[in-house]
Amino acid sequence: MTTIMPEGDHIRNAVKWISEEKQKDMSKRLLELIDEASMRYNLSPNDAESLTRILKSDSKLTG
C-alpha cells in the first residue's frame, strides 16, 4: 500500500509525531493530537486541515 506523505518538513514531522504518540497511547484523541502538533510544528490553518484529512484517511490512527 502506498503511503501519501505531505509536502513540507513541518507537516511530515507532525505526521511522524502524531503516529508515535498514537502508538504510545491509542486512547489519545486524534483531533487533540492534531491541535497539539499544529502548535508544536507551527502549522498554518491550511496545513492543519491537510493534516486532518491525511490522518483521518489512515485507519490505524483513527481508532
The string of pLDDT tens digits covering residues 4-49 is 555 578 999 999 999 999 999 999 999 999 999 999 999 999 999 9
27 class by beta-carbon count within 10 Å (0-12 exposed, 13-18 middle, 19+ buried): exposed
- Domain limits of the chain? 9-15+30-62
For residue 6, how many other CB atoms are within 10 A of its CB?
A: 15
| The pLDDT value given to residue 62 | 58
Across the range 53-59, mean pLDDT stands at 81
